Amino acid sequence: MSVQVRPVSSDDFFAWLELYAGYNTFYELELTDTKALRVWGWLTDATHELRAFLAVDETDTPIGLAHYRGFARPSSGTSGLYLDDLFVAQNARGRGAATALIEAVRERAAAERRSVVRWITAADNETAQRVYDRVATRTDWVTYDLNP
């Protein structure tokens, strides 16, 4: 299978939704119509910070997604890209789609003169970590969440 990566377009809603639903199911997150439409609205609003790439097969069928956005790095006086979500359809895994999506985000970061691409993953997602360990450097930082 030949995998290509391209930006999401307004024609991709239903294919994107299927992948986004798969992502939410994988992480046991609730996906409501409101949530899906809000995120899709962000992705199709050129003024919003959230952007997306889709991995597609040889028939241009989306098989994976990457949501990413810029962030400031005051400690270095630079900016980076944050990879919020990465998901590949179960039947398309092991064919390089995740690596291709990460590479597309890395290339975008380089083109925008960003200093880093950063992301997190679940501690028990060992399959993803095997991919990530091949393409990036694991850090020693611990992540915290604080609800407002």
For residue 114, is pLDDT > 70? Answer: yes
For residue 11, is pLDDT > 90? Answer: yes
pLDDT digits (tens, 9 = 90+) for 21-66: 999 999 999 999 999 999 999 999 999 999 999 999 999 999 999 9
Of the pLDDT bands very low, low, confident and very high (cuts 50, 70, 90), residue 9 is very high
Give the Cα-Cα-Cα angle 4, 90, 43 (nearest 5 degrees). Answer: 55
For residue 1, is pLDDT > 90? Answer: no
Report the chain's terminal Cα–Cα distance, integer Å. Answer: 45
Distance CA 83, CA 136 (A): 12
Q: What pTM did the predictor assign?
A: 0.95
Domain ranges of the chain: 4-135
For domain 4-135, say whether CATH 3.40.630.30 is its number. yes
Of the listed ranges 1-5, 104-108, 135-139, the one predicted with least confidence: 1-5
Q: Is 30 helix (H, G, I), strand (E, B) or coil?
A: coil
CB 16 within 8 A of CB 24: no
State the greatest distance between any 2 C-alpha atoms of the chain, in Å, as a whole number: 45
For residue 16, is pLDDT > 70? Answer: yes
